[in-house]
Structure 1
Amino acid sequence: MATNYLKKILSARVYDVARETELQLAPELTKRLGNHVLLKREDNQPVFSFKLRGAYNKMAHLSPEAIKRGVIAASAGNHAQGVALSAAKMKCKAVIVMPVTTPSLKIDAVRARGGSWVEIILHGESYSDAFKHSELLGKKRGLTFVHPFDDPDVIAGQGTIAQEIFSQHQEPIDAIFVAIGGGGLISGIGEYTKAVSPKTKVIGVQASDSDAMNQSLKAGKRIEMKDVGLFSDGTAVKLVGKETFRICKKVVDEIVTVDTDEICAAINDVFTDTRSILEPAGALAIAGMKKYVQKKRIQKKTLVAVACGANMNFSRLRFVAERADVGEFREAVFAVTIPEERGSFKRFCQLLGKRNVTEFNYRIGDQSEAHIFVGVSTQKAGDSEAISKHFRKAKFATIDLTHDELAKSHLRHMVGGHSVLAKDELLYRFEFPERPGALMKFLTSMAPNWNISLFHYRNHGADYGRILVGIQVPKNEQKKFQVFLEKLAYPHWDESNNPAYRLFLK
């Protein structure tokens, strides 16, 4: 028998711990986008995330016997805090399994929410590891598992957000934009929305490197991703839920995917309008709404975006600020080759006209030409392509690096470095877990005759670090190197043929 989600949402118990959050006008976004933009401020919940609703509703519907035995959950952040606060409120023992890579900030937050009612266990390097361990431990101890998204009571709890939206705004709503990880939030919002306002579009938003639901809906079956991006860690789910997938097939009208730069720009947009700082997953809906408006060229519509979380590490803000301009099309970056002769530099600068130069890196290459890494202020999408044509028309060889991850994360900080000594060099980007021993694991796994010829690391205040490594591997040991990569099991990308690398470092 199918679940009556409208009934479950209307009878959900969330307000013992959650609050009705504001549906707030975003004046600057409204002005820029030419649409009436409203933000549903779930970042203002006591745990700075919507997750509290579903966790508490699930626990509130458990039998007294189940509450007495206790509950268990797996989470690396927001869901854990929701379960912890709910456990303290209901005086219920809760075991929360978190990956060993979880930052101490989040562990301390969970402990503070739950106090003596919460037992924290650190296990595995990923959410998947923690989830599997929690299932085994729950069966062994007889604890009830509180799923972060694939549970009818959790879904109904999240659906109360839509109930509030429609009670707060009596006029027609054209579309609601919702972040998707495992699918619990959009399933609850979608069920309620389609029941009370079928014409309102429900549009999901996913990070382009963590779009399991998008891939699943296109394939008509659940697709498990091998790896997911970690920037939007709150939505980094490899496999969506069975129930959430079933619901999304009928209630989601469209899914928009956005990249890291677009998420950073959305964080900046919300700060401009509210002076609040969202976490990457919390800003997904806003980023997707902006992209949808641009793509569909819609005007004078009423759009709601769910700002679903604000558990942001402060140290991550420097990365967000750096990338927001690119995501907002306010900066473009290029590799430009100019003749190594008097007057060529001045001629190049004259081409820039009144555009503001945001970055300029130069190192002499040889006697005939020089390679320049330059950042330029832009006004809108498509400007970088126009500027590239402008440079090429003046006979300057140009590569547009605006969407090149290697250039934006690493090369802009280390331009200049050709070396005749770097024979047989392979260039790889890695994501290391941000914990002691990660680098030593990398170094000790390498063959002793391989030499590190380049190493660049920047801490972004996230659960992982971005590393660029040049390794000299003899050509007859290429297969051995591939085995090393598989055993290491860190996310990695081969950048050996990247054109920016060949210009500036090769």
Structure 2
Amino acid sequence: MSKFTADVTAAETALRDLFPATPLQLNEHLSARYGTEIWLKREDLTPVRSYKLRGAFNAMRKAMAAGSTPHFVCASAGNHAQGVAFACRHFGARGTIFMPVTTPKQKIDKTRIFGGDSVEIVLTGDYFDQTLAASQQFSAEHGAAFLSPFDSADVIEGQATVAHELMAQLPAAPDLVVLPVGGGGLSAGMTSYLAEKSPDTRYAFAEPQGGASLKSALRAGMQITLDRVDSFVDGAAVARIGDLPFARLRGFAPEQVVTPPEDRLCMTILEMLNVEGIVLEPAGALSIDALRDLHEAGALQGRRVVCVCSGGNFDFERLPEVKERAQRYAGLKKYFILRLPQRPGALRDFLTTLGPEDDIARFEYLKKSARNFGSVLIGIETTEPDNLTALMARLDAAGFTYQDITRDELLAQFLI
């Protein structure tokens, strides 16, 4: 047994002081859809509803065993902050948690609840980079231990306990493990552990299309920083894969990384909520959504597949946005700017083009584009994608002038 594997085993044993092993569940719904065994490792069921507690706990445990001062600092707007707060309270250690000023109140409140009197929350910076810089400066000035969310050997070791658990829970070794990727700590830890314990296991990595830092780095053969990151998948939207994680992951091929589009992830979040009663945050749904692409590539058939559901800290205030994005991706909702004549009966003429399953979800006059015409923002929901194709054909035949802005990011940002 290697030192890394032995250390992971020790970390997993110590974790039992906090919570039992998270469930590994055979999911009948997904197994039937893809014609193979699909198991879900439910990291959304830890006390802080994500795997981040594992790494934070292990890093603190080792720092305190080495005689480090029990004052820890981190920067996070989400799961890492909550994991650090929970572990600080467990150890009776002091924690200072820096969060961006723009962090939703729900996340701030949950972090405060988990940490209690053990933690102080400092809100600073409009952007995470500003928050991170402030936390690192504070850590240096006060001689506190800075806890990275992923770029730490002890954190990676803690996250690897997920692999230790699933090997004890499965009836046989997994053929394929699908891992969500943000900074890379979870993937680095689990692949390193399984390389020794289950050498025949293969891997697929899932990171958001708008934050594919691992895939970009593997293609380039070196770490790169993305110019732009879509922050929707806030638990995995990372512009640059961590240094230590990349050192462990650089041997994988870019073709092993699946990049689900953010809007499609919304379909998976809703499906798991409505069909299975499982609440997943966007990052937590990554591995399940990636099954769509892996199935099309023929990578699932006849395999025992484990998907790691990394987190369930979903703010239900986001549910309308998630539903909206899912409908648009599925082709069940479109937005148009319609040029409507300013005359009696014009609106009635438009309404006659609607099909029996077409519903007006938004109707808003924008401005008059000419003396005799007005611009209308209109949203149409329906039950089948073909209905909207047929609607546009009827609009063309009736001579209406319109523009489909459903996938126009700039216009959608300001108008929808």
**Does the alignment reach a TM-score above 0.5?**
yes
Match of 1:285 in 2: 287
- Equivalent of 1:264, from 256, 263, 266? 266
- Once the two structures are TM-superposed, the CA of residue 300 in structure 1 deviates from its matched residue by 4.5
1:171–1:122 Cα change, 3 Å: same
Secondary structure of 1:40's partner?
strand
Q: Distance in 2 between matches of 1:296 and 1:358?
A: 38
Uncovered stretches (5+) of structure 1, i.e. residues with no partner: 414-506
- Judge conservation of contact 2:332–2:388 (CA < 8 Å) in 1: no
Secondary structure of 1:68's partner?
coil
Q: Distance in 2 between matches of 1:303 and 1:395?
A: 52
Q: Does 1:11 align with 2:14?
A: no
Q: Distance in 1 between matches of 2:395 and 2:220?
A: 42
Q: Distance in 2 between matches of 1:388 and 1:305?
A: 40
Secondary structure of 2:259's partner?
strand
- Once the two structures are TM-superposed, the CA of residue 299 in structure 1 deviates from its matched residue by 3.7
Uncovered stretches (5+) of structure 2, i.e. residues with no partner: none
Identity %: 31
Secondary structure of 1:62's partner?
helix
Match of 1:442 in 2: none
Q: Distance in 2 between matches of 1:403 and 1:302?
A: 37
AA at the equivalent of 1:217? L
- Judge conservation of contact 1:334–1:401 (CA < 8 Å) in 2: yes
- Judge conservation of contact 2:353–2:395 (CA < 8 Å) in 1: no
Secondary structure of 1:321's partner?
helix
Q: Distance in 2 between matches of 1:387 and 1:181?
A: 41
Q: Distance in 2 between matches of 1:357 and 1:195?
A: 56
Relative contact order (alpha carbons < 8 A, sep ≥ 6): 1 or 2 greater? 2
AA at the equivalent of 2:84? V
AA at the equivalent of 2:49? F
- Once the two structures are TM-superposed, the CA of residue 227 in structure 1 deviates from its matched residue by 3.4
- Judge conservation of contact 2:72–2:147 (CA < 8 Å) in 1: yes
Q: Does 1:196 align with 2:202?
A: no
AA at the equivalent of 2:7? K
Q: Distance in 1 between matches of 2:89 and 2:283?
A: 26
Match of 2:73 in 1: 72
Q: Distance in 1 between matches of 2:234 and 2:101?
A: 15
Q: Distance in 2 between matches of 1:304 and 1:39?
A: 6
1:148–1:261 Cα change, 3 Å: same
- Once the two structures are TM-superposed, the CA of residue 256 in structure 1 deviates from its matched residue by 1.2
1:193–1:348 Cα change, 3 Å: farther
Q: Distance in 1 between matches of 2:340 and 2:316?
A: 43
* CA deviation profile, 1:191-245 (whole Å, cap 9, x unmatched): 1233233333222211222222221111111111233222111122222211111
1:128–1:232 Cα change, 3 Å: same
* CA deviation profile, 1:129-157 (whole Å, cap 9, x unmatched): 22222222212211112111011111111
Alignment of 1:421-500 (within 5 A): none
- Of 245-254 and 174-183, more deviation after overlay is shown by 245-254
Match of 2:209 in 1: 208
- Once the two structures are TM-superposed, the CA of residue 335 in structure 1 deviates from its matched residue by 4.4
Q: Distance in 2 between matches of 1:77 and 1:346?
A: 46
Q: Distance in 1 between matches of 2:201 and 2:332?
A: 35
- Judge conservation of contact 1:66–1:143 (CA < 8 Å) in 2: no
AA at the equivalent of 1:290? R
Match of 2:43 in 1: 42
Q: Distance in 2 between matches of 1:408 and 1:244?
A: 36
- Judge conservation of contact 2:124–2:131 (CA < 8 Å) in 1: yes
Q: CA RMSD in A?
A: 3.3
Secondary structure of 2:83's partner?
helix
* CA deviation profile, 1:415-474 (whole Å, cap 9, x unmatched): xxxxxxxxxxxxxxxxxxxxxxxxxxxxxxxxxxxxxxxxxxxxxxxxxxxxxxxxxxxx
Match of 2:180 in 1: 179
Q: Distance in 2 between matches of 1:361 and 1:88?
A: 48
Alignment of 1:295-314 (within 5 A): 295-296=297-298, 298-314=300-316
- Judge conservation of contact 2:358–2:387 (CA < 8 Å) in 1: no
Match of 2:119 in 1: 118
Aligned length: 402
- Judge conservation of contact 2:69–2:145 (CA < 8 Å) in 1: no
Question: Normalized against structure 2, the TM-score is what?
Answer: 0.84
Secondary structure of 2:210's partner?
coil
Match of 2:219 in 1: 218
Match of 2:234 in 1: 233
- Judge conservation of contact 1:27–1:273 (CA < 8 Å) in 2: no
- Once the two structures are TM-superposed, the CA of residue 314 in structure 1 deviates from its matched residue by 2.2
Q: Distance in 1 between matches of 2:374 and 2:112?
A: 59
- Judge conservation of contact 1:54–1:156 (CA < 8 Å) in 2: yes
* CA deviation profile, 1:23-67 (whole Å, cap 9, x unmatched): 123333333333332221111110111100011011111244644
Secondary structure of 1:96's partner?
strand
Secondary structure of 2:305's partner?
strand
- Of 368-377 and 158-167, more deviation after overlay is shown by 368-377
- Judge conservation of contact 1:332–1:375 (CA < 8 Å) in 2: yes
Q: Distance in 2 between matches of 1:143 and 1:298?
A: 46
Match of 1:485 in 2: none
Q: Distance in 1 between matches of 2:390 and 2:33?
A: 24
Q: Does 1:377 align with 2:378?
A: no
- Once the two structures are TM-superposed, the CA of residue 287 in structure 1 deviates from its matched residue by 1.8
Secondary structure of 2:97's partner?
strand
Secondary structure of 2:273's partner?
helix
Q: Does 1:244 align with 2:249?
A: no
- Judge conservation of contact 1:28–1:272 (CA < 8 Å) in 2: no
Q: Distance in 2 between matches of 1:74 and 1:59?
A: 15
- Once the two structures are TM-superposed, the CA of residue 400 in structure 1 deviates from its matched residue by 5.8
1:32–1:369 Cα change, 3 Å: farther
Q: Does 1:294 align with 2:296?
A: yes
- Judge conservation of contact 2:382–2:388 (CA < 8 Å) in 1: no
Match of 1:274 in 2: 276
Q: Distance in 1 between matches of 2:100 and 2:40?
A: 32
Match of 1:92 in 2: 93
- Judge conservation of contact 1:179–1:205 (CA < 8 Å) in 2: yes
Match of 1:496 in 2: none
1:173–1:358 Cα change, 3 Å: farther
